[in-house]
Structure 1
Amino acid sequence: MFMIYKEMWNRRKMIHTLSLQEMKREYAGTVLGAFWGLVNPLMRIAVFWFVFSVGARAGGPVNGAPFIAWLSIGMVAWFLLNDGFKLSQKSFRSKRNIIKNTPFPISILPAVQIAFAFYTHLILLVVMLVITAIGLKSISFYWLQILYYDFAALMLLIGLGAVTAPIVAVSKDFGRFLDTILVFLFWMTPIFWSIENLKGLEQLWFIEYIVKLNPFHYIVQGYRDSVFYQVGFWEQPVYTLYFWGLVFFLLILGNYLYKRMKPIFLDLL
């Protein structure tokens, strides 16, 4: 049932090596190297903070958490999800030269791209946690939950990559559609606004539940619950069960699509 994930696990050392090579290739010829993976997201966070705090004057504390810290932690989670999804869903199409010209275990390609995004994410995560600890002048045992949410994010991304990579390999248009969906999710995932704001809208009470159907929200909110609000994932058993049920479904579907579509996209690439 999980053929491609078994191969990913058996070749985990290869995935690690290839992801590091991908990082070196990405930043080859630059002075800062992999630290560009830190500079770019920090600049984006600063721009969004300026727009919302200074421009829109909407940068007040969010449930007691300073807005800049609350925004930064949410965006750190989002960058992992966004970059991991974008890279994994294009992994077969972007590596078609390897697929065509070498005997290669192509099923591991989505995992390679996800690992590349994750290693870049770790640099940003460590820096932001250090800055947050200095700003808040405290740390909590709940910060260890970020390890759980990172694992959850990786499993979600593997499932999404396994589902979408074969389809994108066949249809370039589907890849563009997914890029559009990511833009939609960027604004609909509560990164710049709190889902608590929806509780006062009685006529739109259902929107809160629609937002929570988005598995990206589970990760982003989980980061913030761990750093600011000391809420354990075990305190939301129904939501956690929904998230892992969705991940399990994506993993099954991804394995099925890969096996059925592999002969098709190998001919088309």
Structure 2
Amino acid sequence: MFDIYKEMWRKRGMIQSLSIQEIKREYAGTLLGFVWGLVNPLMRIAVFWFVFSIGARAGGPVNGAPFFAWLAIGMVAWFLLNDGFRLTQKSFRSKRSIIKNTPFPIAILPAVQILFSYYIHLILLAVIFVLMALSLQTVSLYNFQLIYYDFAAVMLLLGIGSVTAPLVAVSKDFGRFLDTILVFLFWMTPIFWSADNLGMYEWIIKINPFHYVVQGYRDSFFYDIGFWEQPLYTLYFWILVLVFFLLGNYLHKRMKPIFLDTL
């Protein structure tokens, strides 16, 4: 039932090695190296803070949390989800030369891209964590929930990648459609605004599993809310992840002959 995920587990050493190679390849020939993985997201956080807080004058505290800190934590979670989603759906097509010319265990490619994204995420998260601790002058045990929410994000991305990678390998149009969906998710995930503003319609946003991770980050930093305090929402999230896993395994097995010929 979970054949491709068993293969990922058996090849976990290869996945780690390939993800490190991806990092080296990404920053090869640059003077600052992996530091560029910090520069881009930090600049984007600063720009969005300036636009919404200074330009739009909409930067008041959010449920008691300083807007800049609230925005930064939400965007750190979003960067992981965004990069993982973007890279995993193209993982087969971007590596077609390897797939076509070598007996390569292609099922592991989405996991390689997720781990690559996660390593970069950890560096950014460490920087933001230190900045939050210094600015808020507090560290809570709830902060360590980030381990759980990172695991949840990785599992979600693995399920989504397993579903989308075979489809994008067969159709470039589907890849473009997913790029559009990602833009939609960016604005429909409460990064710059609170879902509390929707009142009785908040459930619409909660259907989006990205919200579970982003809000979980904020709950861990600002509101001291444990994931166990939201049992139904947590159950919904993991059921959705399970559905992605089952569908991804099914599509990979059924579509493998098709996308191998298409690539």
- TM-score tier by shorter-chain length is over 0.9
Instruction: Find the counterpart in structure 2 of residue 225 from structure 1.
Output: 219
Query: What is the rounded CA distance, in whole Å, between the counterparts of 1:104 and 1:141 in structure 2?
Result: 43
| Structure 2 residue aligned with 1:252 | 246
TM-score, length basis structure 2: 0.99
Q: Counterpart in 2 of 1:262?
A: 256
Match of 1:202 in 2: none
Is 1:123 paired with 2:117? no
- Tell whether 2:74 aligns with 1:80: no
The residue type paired with residue 6 of structure 1 is K
Deviations 1:5-37 (A, max 9, x none): 000001111100100000000000001101111
User: 2:231 aligned to 228, 234, 237, which one?
Assistant: 237
| Counterpart Cα distance in 2 of 1:122 and 1:32 | 17
| Structure 1 CA distance for aligned equivalents of residues 134 and 161 of structure 2 | 36
- Counterpart of 1:99, as a letter, is I
Gap runs ≥5 in structure 1: 200-204
What is the rounded CA distance, in whole Å, between the counterparts of 1:103 and 1:22 in structure 2?
20
Match of 1:192 in 2: 192
Runs of 4+ off more than 6 Å: none
* Structure 1 match to 2:10: 10
- Superposition RMSD in Å: 0.5
Aligned partner of 2:24 in structure 1 is 24
TM-score by length of 1: 0.97
C-alpha deviations, 1:177-210, integer Å up to 9, x for none? 00000101101100000011112xxxxx3x3111
Q: How far is 1:103 from its partner?
A: 1.2
Query: Secondary structure of 1:60's match?
Result: coil
Q: What are the Cα deviations for residues 203-246 of structure 1, in whole angstroms up to 9, with x where unaligned?
A: xx3x3111000000000000000000000000000000000000
Partner of 1:246, secondary structure, is helix
Q: Percent identity?
A: 76
Shift of 1:156: 0.2
For 2:171, the equivalent position in structure 1 comes to 171
Q: Equivalent residues in 2 for 1:39-188 (5 A)?
A: 39-188=39-188
Structure 2: distance between partners of 1:222 and 1:32: 32
Give the paired residue count.
263
